[in-house]
């Protein structure tokens, strides 16, 4: 059976099961009231797309820098990286957003909610990225780096040509999962009054009192963002796969 057909069948079964559950519940839909706010949904979704793209790129950069600190071998730098990672991973994103906007941003004079939101998301996801990158680099045997140096490669050439290509294959699934989580975590930006997708759904629900009709488009909109990310990661895995034997 072709892979695409198997996925289509399973997706249809899931959709049918959910539709049957709604039918059994006898829910009275009120899509007409929500339809009037379709422009608000679209604007909120586009804001979420822009914020997610910016946060995705920034989180990879932050994670790479933090991973470099963790693997620096210098106690002060390593302690800095470890403190950042444990502090971020050990506290809720909601609290980080509130402190980041109402305390840190106010203290340094940053008033743009979007800048603060992207920065906090990047720092939050970057802590997880750092450990993913560190684990991927540590998984490469030291002997390979020594062999690369033995044949005359510089440290940078050994890292770029020997270590990184293998590390990317190792970390790609975990990185893809973290990026998908980051897109969904962007829904918390509504707590600092950023007009993104989740806040739009909350406002439509307040206007229409149609809860499911307001939040089902939210789920579909996030799927439209996360499914392509997952598909891209699987495609990259296939492109980068090689036979170790």
d(C-alpha 211, C-alpha 192), whole Å? 22
d(C-alpha 120, C-alpha 39), whole Å? 28
- Return the CATH superfamily for domain 41-240: MetI-like (1.10.3720.10)
Q: Find, among 151, 187, 205, 184, the residue nearest to 40 by Cα.
A: 205
Read off the pLDDT of residues 229-244 as tens digits, 9 standing for 90 and up. 888 888 887 877 764 4
Sign of CA dihedral 166, 168, 171, 177: negative
| Torsion angle, alpha carbons of 106, 108, 112, 118, to 10 | -100
Structure tokens at 17: 């099961």
- At residue 33's C-alpha, the angle toward residues 28 and 34, to 5°, is 95
Structure tokens at 59: 């989180």
Binned average pLDDT, 10 residues per bin, the chain of 245 residues: 81 87 82 90 94 94 94 92 95 94 92 93 95 88 78 79 83 89 91 90 91 91 90 82 53
d(C-alpha 36, C-alpha 56), whole Å? 32
Read off the pLDDT of residues 157-206 as tens digits, 9 standing for 90 and up. 887 788 888 888 888 888 988 999 999 999 999 999 888 999 999 999 99
pLDDT given for residue 242 in this prediction: 60
């Amino acid at each position: 059976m072709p892979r695409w057909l198997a996925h289509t069948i399973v997706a249809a079964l899931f959709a049918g099961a959910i539709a049957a559950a709604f039918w059994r519940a006898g829910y009275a839909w009120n899509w007409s009231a929500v339809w009037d706010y379709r422009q608000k949904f679209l604007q909120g979704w586009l804001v979420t797309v822009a914020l997610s793209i910016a946060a995705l790129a920034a989180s990879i950069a932050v994670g790479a820098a933090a991973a470099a600190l963790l693997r620096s071998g210098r106690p002060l730098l390593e302690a800095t990286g470890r403190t950042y990672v444990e502090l971020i991973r050990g506290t809720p994103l909601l609290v980080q957003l509130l402190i980041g906007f109402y305390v840190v941003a106010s203290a340094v004079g940053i008033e743009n909610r979007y800048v603060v939101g992207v920065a906090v998301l990047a720092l939050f996801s970057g802590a997880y990225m750092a450990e993913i990158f560190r684990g991927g680099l540590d998984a490469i045997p030291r002997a390979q780096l020594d062999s690369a140096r033995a044949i005359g490669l510089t440290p940078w050439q050994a890292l770029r040509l020997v270590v990184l290509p293998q590390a990317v294959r190792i970390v790609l699934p975990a990185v893809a999962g973290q990026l998908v989580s980051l897109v969904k975590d962007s829904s918390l930006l509504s707590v600092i009054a950023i007009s993104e997708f989740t806040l739009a759904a909350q406002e439509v629900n307040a206007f229409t009192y149609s809860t499911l009709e307001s939040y089902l488009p939210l789920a579909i909109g996030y799927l439209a963002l996360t499914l392509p990310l997952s598909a891209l990661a699987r495609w990259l895995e296939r492109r980068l796969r090689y036979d170790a034997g």
